[in-house]
Amino acid sequence: MIERRRLLGAAAAGFGVLVAGCSGTTTGRPQRTPGAPAGAATRISTSPPATTTSTLPRSAPWRANPGDIEPVVKVTAARVVEAIGSWQDATGPEQAGRRLRGLGQDPRLVDQGRVLLRGSPAAEIEVIEAQYGGLLTTTASVLVVCRQWWIGPGGRLAAGGSTVDVRLSRVNAHRWRVTALHPSHPGPPVPRPPGSLAARVLHEPRIDLPPAAAADVASGKVHDSVLSAMLRLSQRYRIGVSVIRSGHPIYVFGTDRRSDHPQGRAFDTFRVDGRLVVDPDTPRSLVTGYMEAAAAAGSYNVGGPYLLPGTGTQFFSDATHHDHVHAGFLT
């Protein structure tokens, strides 16, 4: 069983931002869920967005939680995404490399994160969550889940989002270097009847979906088993989904086994009933109850911060899954 570690979250100074996306964009002022905790994912509206001339919202830099293992890894990944995806004047995209250099990171990473550089005079990116996609001794994958706003044509405020798989390598005991960026590519939305599983998930207020995950559902590339499980779980819990398909490593990190995520057969939950899975103050019973409910909803492979009794590989726990609950499905 993984013991939660109460490590002080490193909070390096940085640009307050979110990751811009290859998913669809909307226009109009972004609305946050009333009473939602800081960093909480907001729902993606499926109604026609309003258009207005407005200023950009401001976002605080992402901060690690006291329960995070190796918090500096997550903070490093978040700062790189924030540095690329946020700027306050028309020269911002051109200065992204300089911002990375100021963080001690390779400015050439801009080329891999170019999807975050909107043709806009200003943009703001907010990191919703930084979750492990893999954590080994000298290498790591951090899934930086974001939303982004920018000034579009006619001064209108536009919004979108993405999830970036940030790869890192350990430099020493206190520093990690970002080696690659892999932004999500959910694909275009496909028509879905109002009563379909996908439409129900997108409209369910008890399921919080960040932009890339919502785009995954809208793309039609998520298996019905995943959608059914999310709907079933939402009857009992308010769930904050971090990653479904796009933006996740193709292979289980550090192995040659294909992950269920890119195949649309898994989803990760980082928040349950408004409580972060990684937070040491979140009741253990809430997380373990959710893990058991995910298995009852059809998941053959449930991972999280606690190792529960089960058959075969039904439940597992490791350092990578100390900050979220993974639920995988066979079909």
Each residue of 171-215: pLDDT tens digit? 998 999 999 999 999 999 999 888 899 999 999 999 999 999 999
Give the domain-ending residue among 157, 183, 209: 183
Computed on alpha carbons and rounded to an integer, the radius of gyration of the chain in Å comes to 19
Which range among 51-55, 117-121, 179-183 shows the weakest confidence by mean pLDDT?
51-55
pLDDT at 290 over 60: yes
73-89: average pLDDT: 96
Residue 45 and residue 106 share a domain? yes
pLDDT at 6: 32
Residue 205 and residue 145 share a domain? no
pLDDT at 32: 36
- Domain presence at residue 4: no
> How many CB atoms are closer than 10 A to CB 104?
12
pLDDT at 123 over 80: yes
pLDDT at 16 over 70: no
pLDDT at 44 over 90: no
pLDDT at 310: 74
5-16: average pLDDT: 31
pLDDT at 54: 66
- The domain total for the chain is 2
**SS3 state of residue 291:** helix
For Cα atoms 20, 139, 85, give the angle at the middle one, nearest 5 degrees. Answer: 15
- Domain presence at residue 324: yes
pLDDT at 42 over 80: no
126-132: average pLDDT: 98
Q: Classify strands 123-135 and 17-18 as parallel, antiparallel or unpaired.
A: parallel
pLDDT at 153: 86
pLDDT at 196: 95
Could you read off the pLDDT of 138-155 as tens digits, one per residue? 999 999 999 999 998 888
pLDDT at 152: 87
Domain that holds residue 241: 197-328
pLDDT at 131: 98
How much of the chain, in percent, has pLDDT values that exceed 70? 83
pLDDT at 48: 35
Specify whether the CB–CB gap between 29 and 242 falls below 8 A.
no
pLDDT at 192: 86
Q: What pTM did the predictor assign?
A: 0.84
- CA distance linking residue 4 with residue 6, whole number of Å: 7
pLDDT at 90: 82
- CA distance linking residue 4 with residue 69, whole number of Å: 8
Across the chain, mean pLDDT equals: 85
- Domain presence at residue 5: no
Residue 149 and residue 109 share a domain? yes
Give the domain-ending residue among 145, 160, 183: 183
- Domain presence at residue 302: yes
Which range among 8-17, 76-85, 262-271 shows the weakest confidence by mean pLDDT?
8-17
- CA distance linking residue 193 with residue 216, whole number of Å: 16
Give the domain-ending residue among 123, 150, 183: 183
- CA distance linking residue 211 with residue 260, whole number of Å: 20
H helices of 86-210, where? Answer: 96-102, 109-112, 197-203
Which range among 1-15, 156-170, 287-301 shows the weakest confidence by mean pLDDT?
1-15
Residue 203 and residue 132 share a domain? no
For Cα atoms 75, 146, 67, give the angle at the middle one, nearest 5 degrees. Answer: 40
Q: Which residue has 């053959």 as its token pair?
A: 300
Q: Which residue has 């899975």 as its token pair?
A: 277
> How many CB atoms are closer than 10 A to CB 107?
15
- CA distance linking residue 88 with residue 116, whole number of Å: 14
Specify the DSSP element, H or E, that contains 81. Answer: helix 71-85
